[in-house]
Every structure is written in C-alpha cells, then in structure tokens.
Structure 1
Amino acid sequence: MSTSDQQIKNVVLVHGAFADGAGWRGVYDNLTSRGFKVTIVQNPLTSLEDDVAATTRVLDRQDGPAILVGHSWGGTVITEAGVHPNVAGLVYVSALAPDAGETTGQQYEGFAETPEFVIDVVDDGYGFLNSEKFKAGFAHDASDADAAFLRDAQVPINMSVFATPVKNAAWREKPTWAVIATEDKSFDQAMLQHMATRAGAKITNVSASHALYVTQAGVVADTIAAAAEGAPPTGQ
C-alpha cells in the first residue's frame, strides 16, 4: 500500500516515560518504506505542558492531516495535544488515555498493581525504572542486548506529571485506534482494555511486552496505516 492510495500521509510518533524517540526506529522504517512521512517527537518528560508543547511544535510543521501516535505516557500527551487541527486520528500503543479533567494517576485506580514495574524516584522528584527489574517490567520479549540498551538509554520523568489533569480529551472528537500488549507488565491488562474501550478505539491485541513499539513494530505500523486509511482528513 502506498500513500498515493490514501489521503493521510503524515504520522507523528510520541514516546512515553523512561524512553526517547529512538525506540520508534522499527515503526519509522516500516512506515517510511510505505511512503509515509514520519516525524518523531522528543518529549522532555519534564511536565505534561512541556511534552504537549513539544508535540504541538511537530504538529505545527505537518503539511497536512496527520495520525498522532502515543506509547504509554505518550497516550496522555496525545490525548491533550490531539485536539490540534492537523490531527485526523489517534493511535494508542499500550497507552494511557485519561478523560478531560482526569489525571494520569487516576487511571490506575481500581486496577491490579504491576510488581515487576518498579520506579526508583530520586531526590529531585524524577523517576527511573529500576535497573534490575527493567527487562521483566518493560521489555521481557526483547533480546538481552536490546533491553539493556533501552535500560541504559532511559530518560527519567518528573513524577509530578501523573498528578496533572488533562484539559482536553482528543479521543472524544477524533477517530481512535489502540494496540494493546497482552503481556504488558507495566499496566494491568484490564486497565488498558478499559481505557481503550472507553475511548471508542478499534483495538488490536498482540502478544508482547510494554515495549511492543519496539518488539512488535510491524503490528504497530499496520495499525497506524489502517488509521491513516480509515480516518477522514481534518476539516471534512
């Protein structure tokens, strides 16, 4: 499938906590080989406002409608930033999807804990994933080498972001897709299914870890391509 057959050719990828945009390389390569124009946001992970601003800067540069994709914490970011007029559709990749007025932290309420996903919070309020638990909690289906690289390249997040409410819920206005890792050890499976269902997302389940954007890049890319084909261009 080439983008000549579809109206939407732009894709914007938004990474989550404890990561940077490099993890999207497999998805990027897959989509660009199909003719998509792909841009990767580098979130500072310093506040929701800062991450939304970083995403908005990229959306402002798009030359037409775009599919906005978020992994994990990136889901909260695209929920807020996705009201941008250039966004034609949203894709949540094992991602958080709060409603307007809700915090990210509230999404965990009533769902099971994830004991293998351990965050070490340092004195300045930033969190890193525990080095010993990293592979088990984040990327158990990755090779040891890939998991070690993700662990050692991780970017800490300001833990206060989880208490910041979102002002807008773009999924209430924009067509939405979700890819959910059925072996995710970072979020309770019931929590992921609940958020995606509430958002009205077309859900694809795949056997993978939380790092499915790396380990199942083909499935993620296929879902993004389906969103590009299925979402109406903005303004129509």
Structure 2
Amino acid sequence: MKQSWVREESPMVDTSHANSVKNVVLVHGAFADGSGWRRVHDDLTQRGFSVTIVQNPLTSLADDVAATTRALDRQDGPVILVGHSWGGTVITEAGVHPRVVGLVYVSALAPDKGQTTSDQYVGFAGTPNFVIDVQSDGFGYLNPEKFKAGFAHDLSDEEAAFLRDSQVPINMSVFGTALANAAWRTRPSWAVIATEDQSFDQAMLVHMAERAGAQITRVSASHALYISQASVVADAIQAAAQGSAH
C-alpha cells in the first residue's frame, strides 16, 4: 500500500490555505461532458465548496490536461481534483499542478507514470455491455443499443437516453498515450467504485485504487454513479477536502 504522498515529496504544493480546502475541480470522462456533474456540483456548493467543471475536448490527453490545467490556474487556493472514468487518467497527469492537494477517482482510471490507459486493461475481464463504435476518423461513440446497459443502467430511461444522445466522441488514440506523471504518487487519493459498473472490470478498478493507496468507498451503482449516487460522490470529495487539509 502506497504511503509516499507526504508533503515533503512535493514541495511545490500550495499549502497556504491548508486548513480550508474549499475548491473542487471536476473532470468528466469519455462519451460525456461536464453537465453530468450537475448533481454533484449542486450538492457541493450547498456544502460551501467552490466548484469548477472542466469541459474536456476529448481530442487528446494533452488537450484534456490543458483544459484541466486552465481550470486549476483559476483557483484561489488548494484544490481537490476529481475525475470520472477517462477523467481519472486526466487528473493523474494534471494533478501534479501545485494547487492540487488531493485526488478523487470516481470509477476512474489511474495509470502509472510511463503507462498508457490501455495498459490498465491487461489481465482483466472484458465488459460485453460496454461497446465502442469507432468511426473512420478514429473517434469512438458508445453503441446506442448498449448504452444504458453499459453506462447508465440505474438511471431512468429518459436520463440514459439524454446521455446517449448527447455523448461526446473521444479520439481513440488517447488510450495509447503514455503518461509523463502519476499525481497519486505525491498526493493523497480517494476512490469511489461502483460495484455494478459495466464499463470496467471491478477487479481492475480496485487494483488501480489500491495501487494508488486510495481510501475506497464502494457503492451499488452503474458507471454513471456521479449522477445516480451524487451524494456519495460528494461525501468522498468532502472527505478528501478534510483529509488533505493537514
């Protein structure tokens, strides 16, 4: 279990407001946009947090990291950085930003430095309900017939249909891009894992979270847990804010 996130290993981290972490930056994953964070945003703002939602272009890892970095640059103090799904890869790379004091992975990927996102799948079971249709230009969409089963089976038909119809395609080449940083090696981490996730093998999510030394919360939910279990996700973010303020 990793114990190497202590502050002296990351002297550039901004601790000037270490007793009052109030800033949260939320990073969405593939096939989605930032609007899916609405319930988490509303919950957190009611708790007194300042929340910023990144809109990833999903065109490359570098582009998504740049979008996240722009959001981090606008913060006025220490930040809890949160990623869902592919957003976990993004926060793993971008989370070395000096304002980031904690990471929250929401059924999210967490590669190591030098690894690609695709590397995380090796040795784990497939997910037959999570089907990506790759277009001729190299961008992928989730298969519409499988969308609800693979991504959002615990949402209403209407909610799942809106997510399906508004999905943002991702450049599939991003999954083959190696990371230059692994922020979880120098920042404390938390993970919320959906136990009914049909997008990732459960063992894969647990493996990545444990490798990062994350404090793990399990919740009965689909891959869209940031919508269906928004309060549980907000609880984990609040725990991260409190646990990082030391």
TM-score (norm 2): 0.92
Deviations 1:91-132 (A, max 9, x none): 000000000000000000000000000000000000000000
Distance 1:205 1:82 in 2: 23
Q: Which residue of 2 aligns with 1:16?
A: 29
What are the equivalent positions in structure 2 for 1:58-207 lying under 5 Å apart?
58-207=71-220
Amino-acid identity (%)? 78
Distance 2:166 2:94 in 1: 26
Deviations 1:59-93 (A, max 9, x none): 00000000000000000000000000000100000
Distance 2:245 2:112 in 1: 23
Question: Helix, strand or coil: the match of 2:116?
Answer: coil
Question: Helix, strand or coil: the match of 1:59?
Answer: helix
Distance 2:92 2:72 in 1: 14
Count the aligned residue pairs. 230
Q: Which residue of 1 aligns with 2:6?
A: none
Question: Helix, strand or coil: the match of 1:55?
Answer: helix
Distance 1:160 1:51 in 2: 13
Distance 1:8 1:206 in 2: 25
Deviations 1:170-192 (A, max 9, x none): 00000000000000000000000
Deviating beyond 4 angstroms after TM superposition, the runs of 4 or more aligned structure 1 residues are none
Identify the match of residue 39 of structure 1 among 52, 62, 72.
52
- Give the unaligned 5+ runs of structure 2: 1-18
Distance 1:153 1:37 in 2: 26
Asked if residue 230 in structure 1 is aligned to residue 235 in structure 2, the reply is no
Asked if residue 28 in structure 1 is aligned to residue 41 in structure 2, the reply is yes
Question: Helix, strand or coil: the match of 1:140?
Answer: coil
CA drift at 1:7: 1.0
Question: Helix, strand or coil: the match of 2:57?
Answer: coil
Distance 1:220 1:153 in 2: 23
User: Which amino acid in structure 2 is aligned with residue 38 of structure 1?
Assistant: V
CA drift at 1:232: 3.2
User: Which amino acid in structure 1 is aligned with residue 110 of structure 2?
Assistant: A
CA-based RMSD of the aligned residues comes to 1.2
Question: Helix, strand or coil: the match of 1:19?
Answer: coil
Distance 2:165 2:87 in 1: 20
Distance 2:159 2:188 in 1: 33
User: Which amino acid in structure 1 is aligned with residue 209 of structure 2?
Assistant: A
User: Which amino acid in structure 2 is aligned with residue 49 of structure 1?
Assistant: A
- Give the unaligned 5+ runs of structure 1: 1-5
Distance 2:179 2:230 in 1: 28
User: Which amino acid in structure 1 is aligned with residue 43 of structure 2?
Assistant: N
Question: Helix, strand or coil: the match of 1:150?
Answer: helix
User: Which amino acid in structure 1 is aligned with residue 180 of structure 2?
Assistant: K
Deviations 1:132-164 (A, max 9, x none): 000000000000000001000100000000000
Distance 2:150 2:69 in 1: 30
Q: Which residue of 2 aligns with 1:3?
A: none
